[in-house]
Chain A
Amino acid sequence: MASTNGEAVLRIDDLRISFGTYAGEVQAVRGATFDLRRGETLAIVGESGSGKSVAARSIMGLNPVSNTIVKGGEIVFEGEDLLKLSEKRMLDIRGQKIAMVFQDPMTSLDPTMRVGRQIMESLKQHLGMSGRRAAERAAELLKMVGIPNAEERLKQYPHQFSGGMRQRVVIAIALACDPQVLIADEPTTALDVTIQAQILELLRELQERLGMSIVLITHDLGVVASTAHRIAVMYGGKIIETGTVREIFYNPRMPYTWGLLASIPLPTADRSQDLIPIPGTPPDATDPPKGCPFAARCPYAMRICEEEMPGYTTFSDEHRAACWLHHQMAPNVEPPARIGGKK
């Protein structure tokens, strides 16, 4: 895995986002802090409802205008706070400097527009390319994402492509203007396992070739292992642990992370060991707990966990976790055998 340059391309600081709904205020993101370095892939891992998609969309300003409330925080890109930029400036950034790939390839493309045209839209919009030049570039992009017969394919409609191919097209669209940051929101969740591997491989290749930084959002730790450099674990609207891939996999520090790792089926695991799913469900976003969001489901929860949110403990340059177990007054707890000390 290529090492990363330490410089932060994107910095999210204490992001707080809520939605106004008929049931009350839904606090989707409650103070998330993380950054993305140049040339790296940062994986944001969490269950559905953890707020990861909302956080990602906030970077691009794609949350629905009508009921989204930005309650605080900053998203700093190229020296500017994206949350405070005018819509006009955001239009420049979207698709050109920061691009996004969505989860379901079957619905991400306009069914009534030819694929080539959908790719060329951003080329014409941001780079002012002429029709012919744009078509050439679009064909190049299709080749780059591994679609054969690019010139013919340009003229086809989305329904003429399979799921995996469509996702490649979506990636091609995202890469059209050579963005610095690519946000991939569960790009492989809706695909078959074999296709998943292909797409992830494609993303990795493209990153090496083009040097862009990727935010990879997923709930599947298995996906993360092969493609990410660093991981941020998100739960209940907060980032509760961040670290490099090695650190998280081999030395996780937070019970939720242990739970996540323990619930991955391992082909090499001892048959006698059970799969340990994490019991319970995520907290109610309209009435979030005032302490650690994971307390209700945590087997090691202490009284203080329910009362107050723990601060971060730093374990290394990259590795931080927020858990009361790290406080000096807390009992010493070792991670479950299944994941502790694997080498």
Chain B
Amino acid sequence: METRDRQLTPELFQPAGLGSQDAEKIAGPSIGFWGDAWRRLRKNRVALVSAALILVLIALAVLGPYLTPYTSDGQDLSRQFRGPSLSGFWFGTDNFGRSMFDRVWEGTRVSLYIAFLATALDLGIGMFYGAISAYNGGRIDNIMQRVVEVLVGIPNLVLIILLMLIFDPGILSITIAIAFTGWTSTARLIRGQVLRLKEQEFFLASRALGAGSPRLILKHLIPNVLYIVIITLMFTVPSAIFFEAFLSFIGLGIQVPDASLGALINEGAREMRFYPHLLVFPAIVLCLLTISFRLLGDGLRDALDPRMRK
């Protein structure tokens, strides 16, 4: 044997004694699913910035009005259409002399509230429906899927418009309309995931070991479904924000004098030519929110998708 010129002592040739114990140690530190995901997410600077931004915006939406002595509906025609200034109104005033800063954050509150509520409803119904459909399988699954197919065939936009025509536009009706059209895609997604999980070996193994149904669901299904839910959430929220704003823009959503990001943008668009600040501020907030949620969603997807782990 060719060896380096190193002094080899006989004791080096004693049995190591470590052999089989270390063999079963899983090579590479075992962090677990969530730990690994967190590690990956942490490296994604864009996603982290987005998350921070979202938190900041939410904080401003809640605390904003406390930062100024003005209120969002305090009118004073003597100070209408003022531009933004650091000493006076930070975001300027609108045609009724109301502080835009306050109005924008109130609008953000309303929009976020609607978006979160609609998303919660959407995910709740969708998860429930999809999971039950997939878990039961067979005929129940078939019937439930037929129903979804028909519903999916009806275009979202059309349905939302129709719904908004009958209901009085308001926070609750918009929320329901958005959730009602969105839950079907969530249901499909969840069903797909549950079906896939059902096929997997660990599920069968668990069953073989005698784990009862509720325990199975809790311990195995839910974590594996959870990550899809989280990712979906990140994309459903901006979609809901968009729908609400869009509806308000075409007159089917929140109407003046109430504020929502969409309503404010609508007003602002009309006065664009002479008072751009009325459009710019709510527009920036809306865009920042949407972009942040999407980027965070992308980052989470990269971090949580098990296929991405090498």
Contacts and interface: CB of A to CB of B under 8 A. Distances in A.
Interface in B1-41: 1-4, 6, 8, 10-16, 18-20, 22-28, 40
Given A298-B19, A327-B1, A327-B8, A284 B28 contact: yes
Contacts of B13: 302-304, 324, 327, 329-331
Given A22-B40, A280-B23, A297-B23, A327 B15 contact: no
Contact of B19 (A301, A308, A311): A301
B12 to A, nearest CB: 4
A299 B24 CA distance: 13
Residue among A282, A296, A326, A331 having the largest count of chain B Cβ atoms under 10 Å = A296
B310 interface: yes
B45 interface: no
B16 A299 contact: no
A302 B1 contact: no
A19 B116 CA distance: 42
Contacts of A283: 27
B43 interface: yes
A135 B6 CA distance: 64
A308 B27 CA distance: 19
Contact of B8 (A23, A300, A304, A306): A304
A287 B25 CA distance: 14
B308 to A, nearest CB: 9
* Interface bracket on B: 20 to 34
Interface in A71-96: none
Contacts of B3: 310-311, 327
A322 to B, nearest CB: 8
Contacts of A298: 19
A313 interface: yes
A208 B8 CA distance: 48
A282 B24 contact: no
A63 interface: no
B24 A303 contact: no
B15 A302 contact: yes
B10 A329 contact: yes
A34 interface: no
A167 to B, nearest CB: 25
Is the contact region of chain A dominated by helix, strand, or loop, or is it mixed? loop
Contacts of B23: 279-281, 296-297
A280 B19 CA distance: 10
Contacts of A300: 15, 19
A310 B6 CA distance: 12
A311 B8 CA distance: 13
Contacts of B2: 311-312
A296 B6 CA distance: 23
Given A282-B27, A312-B2, A327-B3, A303 B16 contact: yes
B90 to A, nearest CB: 41
B19 A296 contact: yes
Interface in A1-52: 21-23, 26
Contacts of A299: 19-20
A311 B4 CA distance: 8
A22 B20 contact: no
B8 A295 contact: no
A331 to B, nearest CB: 7
B12 A304 contact: yes
Interface string A275-289: 000011111101100
Interface in A138-180: none
A280 B21 CA distance: 9
Given A280-B24, A311-B2, A329-B8, A306 B40 contact: no
A297 B19 contact: yes
A205 interface: no
Nearest to B303: A22
A296 B18 contact: yes
Given A281-B26, A295-B16, A21 B310 contact: yes
A287 B26 CA distance: 13
Most buried by B among A295, A301, A327: A301
Among B26, B27, B43, find the residue whose CB has the most chain A CB atoms closer than 10 A.
B27
A139 B174 CA distance: 65
B162 to A, nearest CB: 41
Contact of A22 (B8, B26, B43): B43
B27 A306 contact: no
A307 interface: yes
A286 B28 contact: yes
The 10 closest A-B pairs by CB, nearest first: A280-B23, A304-B12, A284-B27, A311-B2, A284-B28, A301-B16, A297-B23, A313-B1, A296-B22, A301-B19
21 contacts: A280-B20, A280-B23, A280-B24, A281-B24, A281-B26, A284-B27, A284-B28, A295-B16, A296-B19, A302-B15, A302-B16, A303-B11, A303-B12, A303-B14, A304-B8, A304-B12, A311-B1, A313-B1, A324-B13, A329-B10, A329-B12
